[in-house]
Amino acid sequence: MHDNSYKLLFSHPEMVIDLLKGFVKEPWVDQCDFSTLEKVNGSYILDDLRDREDDIIWRIRYGDEWLYVYLLMEFQSTVDHFMAVRIAGYLALLYQDLIHPAPIGLSQYRPEASYLLLDEGNFKNEDLIKSVRLILS
């Protein structure tokens, strides 16, 4: 019930403008051209086939670029210890459609991940053989 009510509220540009101006205390908000705010169609399907139709995506001009505002509404009746993982999954699906460099001042909102690349093509054969023997022993 809450999901549909909030989805309806934040389907109006005035509500999104009030949300950004009233709650996001960041300098970039003042640089947005709110006259260009427009809703973007977006529905994302997770691997377990749950449709993310409650997500609302808006875009707004930020200088010469479009800035996307992703309103993720998630109501829980119980604690979900994996909420951060779920949100990361939602963001990954969104970024499949919207990958481009972040405007200055907004890169802090991009998810970050670091990983260790083990490219076996860059190892000498004798080093790989030693590693396999170590793992097997």
12: left (phi over 0), alpha (psi -120 to 50) or beta: beta
- Express each pLDDT in 66-93 by its tens digit: 888 877 766 667 888 887 887 778 777 7
97-106 b/e with 16+ CB inside 10 Å = b? eeeeeeeeee
Region 33-59: mean pLDDT is 70
- The closest alpha carbon to 101, from 70, 68, 71, 60, belongs to 68
What is the rounded end-to-end Cα distance, in angstroms, of the chain? 58
Mean per-residue pLDDT of the chain: 76
Q: What is the pTM of this model?
A: 0.60
Single-letter code of the amino acid located at 132: V
